[in-house]
Structure 1
C-alpha cells in the first residue's frame, strides 16, 4: 500500500480503506498488514479509529473487517450528487433495451477507470467490469475514449501513469503506441477494446463530452468474439453516440469533481 506522507494521517487512513476494499471480501488484520507498508501499531490504531467511526465494520465472530455503513452512506451520496450515474440511468436503460447487449458507464478516476453503472446483456457474458470496480485506462474502450479528449498536458501525464501490463497480445505496451490510437479516437470519436484487457472480450465506446469537448465520462457496448465481431459492434456506434449526446445534455449543469492525478 503506497502512502503519501504529505497527506498525513488522513491520507494513511484512506489508504487503509483502499486496502480493505481491494480484497472484495471480509479481511483479517494480518491480511491488511501484509498488504500495507505501515508499522503494525500505526495500522492497528488507524483500523480501530476507522471502525469506531463506522468507516469500517468489524465482525467479532470471524475477526474480519469490511467497508462500514458510514462509508456506504458517503459512497451513495457521492454516487447521487457527483457522478453521471443518476443522470445516465434512463439513457442506459433505453440503450440496453434497444440493443440487448452489455452496456457500461464509466468516469476517469485519476489515471484509471471507475465503472459507475452496468446493464447486462440479454445473455450475460462473464467479464471483469462491474459497477464500482476500478479498471485500467490504457486497455479499455471507455478508458481510451476519455483519455483521448483530455488536454494535451494532462493526457501526457496520465499516459505516463499507466502500468502497460500486457494483459493480452493486443495490449498497448507503452505511451507512444497508445497515443497513436488516441489520435485516431479524437478524429473518429469512437474507441475499441480489441481483446486488450481480457481474451475474447471486445467493446465499442464513445466519450460523453461537454460543450468544450472535455470528457465527462464514456459509455460502451461490450461483447465477446464468440458472439460478435468488431464490425458488428461498430454498427452500434450511432446508438451509442446518440445516448452519449443525450447524457451530456442532461449533465450540462453538473459540476464534475476534478480527477485526481
Structure 2
C-alpha cells in the first residue's frame, strides 16, 4: 500500500488493474485489494472519469484508458532510450540473428523498453513494457554494476533474491561479487539465472561521463548458443551501447558536471 497519500493510493489501484493484462471485474480487484470496497470503488470511478481507466458497462470490466496510453507514448518518446536506440537495435539484431533487448532501471527493477526477436524466435519472459528482476538478468546486473555506491545499496535492498533456477545468484554477497566482475570487465552474463535454457551477454549504456542510462543484451537459447559464442559478441554489443549512450547524451541527457565512473 502506498504511503504517498491519495495520489499514491490511486496509482496503486492503477497498477493493480494493469497487472492483470486483461479486462478485469471489480470483484477480482476487490479480492486482491488492500483497500475497503467503498475506497476501491471511489478510486476506480475517479481514474475512469480522468480517462486513466476505461469501463465496459456491458462486460462490467475495467481496462487501462486511452489517456494513460497517450501519457505512456509521451514518456516512451521523451524519457525512454527506445526511439534513439531503434536503428542500433535493428543493426545488432540483423548481425547476430539472436534476440536483442534494451532495458532501463525502474525502481530497482528491469523495465524492458524495446526488443528485437531472433531469426528463429524462442519463447521467453521478456517483452517491451514488462518489468523483471535485476539481480538475475544480464541487463539488470549490467546496470546495477555501474550505479554509484548509494544507489547500488538501495537497489540491492530491493531485490527479492528468489531462486528461479539452480544458477540464480540468491545472496547479496554473490551478487556484489558478480557486479564487481562486470564493472571490471565491462560486460556480464545471464547464465540461465532467470529462465532455464536462456542465456545472454549484456552491456551497460553509459554517457561519456559514466552516467548509467540503461543496458543492451544479446540473448539466445542454450540449445544453440553457448556462453563462449555470446562472449564473442561482447565487443560488438559494447560498440553499439557506446553509440547509443553518445547519442542519448547529446539529445536527451546532456550533462557537464558528473564525475566519470572509474573501474
The answer to whether the superposition gives a TM-score over 0.5 is yes
Choose which of 90, 94, 98 in structure 1 pairs with 2:95: 98
Within 5 Å, which residues of 2 pair with 1:1-261?
Answer: 2-4=1-3, 7-253=4-250, 254-255=252-253
Return the TM-score normalized by structure 1: 0.95
Question: Secondary structure of the residue that 2:59 maps to in structure 1?
Answer: coil
Q: Give secondary structure in 1 for the equivalent of 2:10.
A: helix
Distance 2:43 2:61 in 1: 15
Structure 2, unpaired ranges of 5+: 255-263
CA distance in 1, matches of 2:119, 2:6: 47
8 Å CA contact 1:54, 1:71 repeated in 2: yes
Aligned residues: 253
Alpha-carbon deviations, 1:123-150, whole Å to 9, x = none?
A: 1010000000000000000000000000
Task: Give the equivalent residue in structure 2 for 1:259.
Answer: none
Distance 2:71 2:230 in 1: 36
TM-score, normalised relative to structure 2: 0.94
Distance (Å, rounded) in 2 between the aligned partners of 1:138 and 1:20: 26
Q: How far is the alpha carbon of 1:157 from its aligned partner? A: 1.5
SS of 1:107's partner is strand
Q: Distance in 2 between matches of 1:53 and 1:173?
A: 42
Could you report, residue by residue, the CA deviation over 1:50-69 in whole angstroms, capped at 9, with x for unpaired residues? 01111001112211111110
- Does the residue aligned with 2:249 lie in a helix, a strand or coil? coil
Q: 1:207–1:219: 8 Å Cα contact kept in structure 2?
A: yes
Shift of 1:154: 1.2
What are the superposed Cα offsets for residues 164-220 of structure 1, whole Å, 9 maximum, x if unpaired?
011111111121110000000000011100011011111110000112222100000
Contact 1:82 1:255 in 2 (8 A): no
State the Cα distance separating 1:99 from its structure 2 match.
1.2
SS in 2 for 1:251: helix
By how many angstroms is 1:3 displaced?
2.0
Tell me how far apart the structure 2 counterparts of residues 13 and 245 of structure 1 sit (CA, whole Å): 39
How far the C-alpha of 1:119 sits from its partner, in A, is 0.3
> 1:30: Cα distance to partner?
1.3
**Which 4+ runs in 1 deviate beyond 6 A?**
none
RMSD: 1.0
